[in-house]
Amino acid sequence: MGLGLGLSHHRRIERQADAVAFGAPAALRRRGRGQPPRHSSLPVPRRRRHRRQAVRVHRLPRRQHPQRRRLRPRRQARLLLPQLSSEFTYNPRLWPRDELHKDFLNVAHCFSAQRSTVRVPDLDPKYKISILASKQDHCLFDLLYRWQEGRLPVDIDCVISNHDRPQDNHVRRFLQRHGIPYHYLPTTSGDKSEQGILELIQSTDFVVLARYMQILSESFLKAYGKDIINIHHGLLPSFKGGHPSRQAFNAGVKLIGATSHFVTPELDAGPIIEQMVERVSHRDTLQSFIVKSENLEKQCLAEAIKSYSELRVLPYELKKTVVF
């Protein structure tokens, strides 16, 4: 193999020398450097030259360049979104409480507001509530636990139930340990014990229905005259009434939820305060539907009470609310 390469190399040198001697074209002479010479009758191919295309780069000024002008997320949100609330330091000496209430009442009259509520968290006491519950106590005990941990900004005045719990029940022991009264008021189809409930809740600021499975009459709502918050174990306005988890399971839904709303004379049709959802699939059973729904109920009810106690719930029109 080495001998063959040597002969071919010498032949290329001789052909190149002959081409130079007899005046061969330059293209043919160039072919002799690494390739055999092309015959004179064949056209000489043109060599392609790649030209660089000019690319124009539009450069912005230093202050307008997006990479150089970056805003922090808080500052950017402050520039894009309008201020929805204002905070100030309240001094009772400079602005007495009576004058404060009158000034905000005048503002409410200017905007035709139904009512005006002024609260100073550091000076005013917490809202006092009563909790109504039935046999199921998962929402009731969750509220009691959050209240014990200080995560619920309310004071629980009493617990009323139409289900008699024994003395050694964990709910009764918790209430006795913290000095919260427990009232058992039985209900029947003809007697809902509404008069007894009214006597116990008159001094409260609002009432919470923690899975209280009784329908309150319109006369009861008018006699109380304050807000009542209910938790519905379903994603309203779908699956109203009883057994919403079974209704959702039979309908084959992919999302289940819980709804916290104000109580109105119409069943499960009050303004919605809070809603939470969770995904389900065909693998879930009716029991897993109920377990997931109960977890959503506890979180949804606690969040609604917290938002209402912090004056972040503004009802408007008939069935709408603004929560901020």
Known catalytic residues are: 268
CA distances from 167 to 172, 178, 181, 222 (A): 6, 15, 13, 34
Q: CA 106, CA 98: separation in Å to the nearest integer? A: 13
Q: CA 45, CA 173: separation in Å to the nearest integer? A: 102
| Beta-ladder partners of 154 | 127
Residue 139: both structure tokens together: 């929402």
The 8 Å CB, 24+ separation contacts for 141-145 are 141/170, 141/171, 141/174, 142/298, 142/301, 142/302, 143/208, 143/210, 143/301, 143/302, 143/305, 144/171, 144/174, 144/175
- Measure CA 12 to chain center: 81
